Amino acid sequence: MTIDLKQLPQLQPLFKLLSSGAHLNRLQDSELWVELENHQSQYETLFAALGFSLVLDGRGYAYFKTDQASAYTGKLTRRLALLLMLLFEYQADQGLHLFQFQQWQLDTPLINKLHIHYHAILEAEEITSPQTIKEILDSAARIGFLVLEDGAYRLLPAVHRYLDLFQELAQAERNDPIQTEDDAEDTL
């Protein structure tokens, strides 16, 4: 396959964003997104040749898939998973539609409520203050899971990666509870 680099004018910003580990979101970076979608196969080939596996999800986000994580990333992703679960449970209890998560305003009062409401479970993960929650959200914002606007966080479509995982894990456990327990033991 011949790739004409002249037809990929956004290659540099795209690669810079994706290789920083961040997620490209359709609505946040619409220009890059359109470019990526229009030349998807070229970009995929080009990035694959460089050793990056591009994932483009129709729900509006793209990223470089990797299995290697630093210790820092491992901790952050686990904490973020917990925060997202707590947030979604809380919002569901408020009667909100979970799949409209992109419209939620994750502002300071809500973060404080989460902190109070789930104090014990957060404490167990050494998330002891609303400030720590904000720090986690800030880190997640840097890689495109959220965006900070006017002092409130908003979830971005890339959060679907976690939602898919939640359903997958719960499904697996429902089907075979003993097996997953064993798996959990193995990872220790």
Q: Measured from the CB atom, is 143 or 152 closer to another protein?
A: 143
Q: Measured from the CB atom, is 138 or 183 closer to another protein?
A: 183
Smallest separation, CB 157 to another protein (Å): 13
Per-residue contact string for residues 34-73; x = within reach of another protein by CB under 8 A = -----------------------------xx-xxxxx--x
Q: Is 35 helix (H, G, I), strand (E, B) or coil?
A: helix
Q: Measured from the CB atom, is 38 or 50 closer to another protein?
A: 50
The neighbour count for residue 39, using CB atoms within 10 Å, is 20
Among 27, 30, 59, 97, binds another protein (CB under 8 A): 97
Give start and end residues of each alpha helix (H) in the chain. 11-19, 30-38, 40-49, 71-93, 108-117, 119-124, 130-142, 160-175, 177-187
**Cβ-based neighbours of 37, under 8 Å, separated by 6 or more:** 56
Q: Measured from the CB atom, is 16 or 38 closer to another protein?
A: 16
Smallest separation, CB 2 to another protein (Å): 26
Cβ burial, residue 3 (10 Å; 0-12/13-18/19+): middle
Q: Give the span between the Cα atoms of 175 and 124, in whole angstroms.
A: 28
The answer to whether 106 touches 84, Cβ cutoff 8 Å, is no
Smallest separation, CB 91 to another protein (Å): 9
- Residue that is written with structure tokens 């429902």 in the block: 174
| Binding-site ranges for another protein (CB under 8 A) | 19-23, 63-64, 66-70, 73-74, 77-79, 81-82, 85-86, 88-89, 92, 94-100, 103, 121, 124-125, 143, 161-163, 165-171, 173-174, 183-188
